[in-house]
Chains A and B, each alone.
Chain A
Amino acid sequence: MIDPTHQIFWFASRAFGIVAMLGLGVSVAVGLAMSGRLIRRPGVTSKLRHFHESVTLVTLGLIVAHGGLLLFDSYLRPGLLALTVPFTLAYRPLFTGLGIIAGWLAAILGLSFYARKRIGARTWRRMHRFTIVAYVLALVHVIGAGTDVRSPWMLALLTGLTAPIAFAFSYRMLPASPIPSSGANI
């Protein structure tokens, strides 16, 4: 039996990363469901908006915890620079770099909600559409840099998150009718 105490920050970082991925997936799925008008009931929509905002804020905290805990990992020993600047971490630089970009993107797009009066609702809405990119980058980060990706439960989690997001995104992007209306009444 070995003492894994020296790995607690590594384990904690991974655990927070898993929950952060879950939070990001739920937030993106709820956001897409609202913008794609999958749920139209007025009472439910306002509650979902409130939930979406809350989940986003918690997810941003989890992302900070995921990266921040690695600062205390005696194995990787990354500096603050390596955790905040993409592609500078020695461990799988490409995939960790994509994860850092996803984190920054999630933070900028999530917190821009509070600056929408300053930047304008239209600009904010346009910016907010790119949240799906943060999710895709986070997914690539998990697949490429995650040590749990081969576990069946992790695959089940990623599939369970990605499938509804893919559906909601397709529903949001596809036109309501395959035949464009000509405006002429027959």
Chain B
Amino acid sequence: MAMTRTRQSTNPRRHARSLYRTVLSLAIAAVVAAWLPFTVMYVTALHKPPAGVAAISAPGATRSTTRVITTASGATRLVTVNGTPAGQAIVPTPVVTRDS
């Protein structure tokens, strides 16, 4: 019995074949194991109410073209990045949100 084991571990071809079988089985098991949390996350997101605008925005997804400045009188004003006053029709930038 012990001799068989020694021969098994020293034969590289046999070892590779056995390793391939174990690795493939474990890989299948890992994909199946990953499927469970994936399904839970998907179903949870499916039944979640739409996220509010207060949710954290995507890094790099939004580009701010305006900023709020405080004037000498203390009033706040919306200006563009160039410093010119923002017009009435401000085009909203798309906000992509994720809450999980």
Contacts and interface: CB of A to CB of B under 8 A. Distances in A.
Interface of A: 1-4, 7-8, 10-12, 14-16, 18-19, 22-23, 42-43, 46, 50-51, 53-55, 57-58, 61-62, 74-77, 90-91, 147-148
Contacts of B78: none
Contacts of B15: 50
Contacts, number: 84
Nearest to A59: B30
Given A15-B37, A19-B30, A19-B34, A90 B50 contact: no
A15 B50 contact: no
B19 interface: yes
A22 B34 CA distance: 11
A61 B23 CA distance: 10
Given A58-B27, A77-B61, 14 more contacts: A1-B46, A7-B98, A8-B42, A11-B38, A11-B42, A18-B37, A19-B33, A43-B2, A46-B8, A46-B9, A53-B19, A54-B26, A58-B26, A76-B58
